[in-house]
Amino acid sequence: MSNLLEVKNLHVRVEDKEILQGVNLTIGEDETHVLMGPNGTGKSTFGYAVTGNPSYTVTEGQIIFKGEDITELAVNERAKRGIFLSFQNPLEVPGVTLSAFIRSALEQKTGERIRLFDFKKKLKETMELLNMDPSYAERDLNVGFSGGEKKKAEILQMLMLEPSLAILDETDSGLDVDAVKTVSNGIKIFKERCKGSLLIITHSTRILESLKVDVTHVMSGGYIVKEGGADLVNQINECGFESLCKNCNENCPARGN
């Protein structure tokens, strides 16, 4: 299967600090990847760098998406090509309703006007799938939304925009069991409906329970230190990141090498 995203030797600086120090990571089409690692290790930085946030400067390396070098492209150009990032802490945008925000993002992505009737219909159906109260569509984006509603709003955006690559940054953190279920259901719908690829940044196994994970990457200190299959997530949760399992038994696939 051809590669959707190919990140090669990525070095990223934030302010004066080099956070990513040579990350290599490849995601194929229609694949689900998990990115784990201790706090402050550069996982969110990686998400921001791939989506093109200008605060994150690429000092070395390349980001190739669908065979095109996008390292220098602006955020909106990357979004047009099908990259989506769900933020760890979604921004509040007073004065712009959730509905208007999504419609505008969709029009920017496709470069075409979308009939209001068609848009509203799809929005309503998708909100129903996510158990979202329809009144949220006409509320200002994320303003006064609970943590769970903010995360649902992000999943709603993903389902409406149908990106080829969605990066979900701790979309499950701080959610109760029901909200995690809704989010993970939304991710499943995304896989079925859009056949897109996912990079899920998480510490939790709950959100992954109903998903087929293809590859797990472990980041530490700005590098990918370990890669494996779906079972690596469980092993990491059992053994911790610290020594990548130096202390557990030799059959553990997460054991450092």
Ligand X SMILES: Nc1ncnc2c1ncn2[C@@H]1O[C@H](COP(=O)(O)OP(=O)(O)O)[C@@H](O)[C@H]1O
243 binds, among Mg ion, ligand X, none (CB under 5 to 8 A by kind): none
CA distance 68 to 38: 31
Burial class (CB in 10 A: 0-12, 13-18, 19+), 234: middle
CA distance 56 to 185: 31
Selected from 44, 126, 171, 216, the binder of ligand X by CB under 6 A is: 44
CB 171, min distance to Mg ion, A? 11
Told to check if 39 binds ligand X by CB under 6 A, we report yes
Selected from 32, 41, 44, 157, the binder of Mg ion by CB under 5 A is: 44
With respect to Mg ion, which residue has the nearer C-beta, 53 or 185? 53
Half-sphere exposure of 250 (CA within 13 A, CB side): 0
CB 168, min distance to ligand X, A? 13
Selected from 7, 34, 41, 150, the binder of ligand X by CB under 6 A is: 41
CA distance 110 to 9: 31
Half-sphere exposure of 120 (CA within 13 A, CB side): 6
Told to check if 40 binds ligand X by CB under 6 A, we report yes
Calculate the CA 208 to chain-centre distance: 13
With residue 30 as reference, give the H or E element that holds it: none
Selected from 5, 25, 33, 45, the binder of ligand X by CB under 6 A is: 45
Calculate the CA 160 to chain-centre distance: 15
Selected from 4, 5, 7, 19, the binder of ligand X by CB under 6 A is: 19
CB 195, min distance to Mg ion, A? 27
CB 154 within 8 A of CB 86: yes
Number of residues that bind ligand X (CB under 6 A): 12
CB 37, min distance to ligand X, A? 6
Told to check if 51 binds Mg ion by CB under 5 A, we report no
CB 56, min distance to ligand X, A? 7
Q: Which amino acid is at 105?
A: A
CB 14, min distance to ligand X, A? 4
Calculate the CA 75 to chain-centre distance: 15
Query: Where do contacts with Mg ion occur on this chain (CB under 5 A)?
Result: 43-44
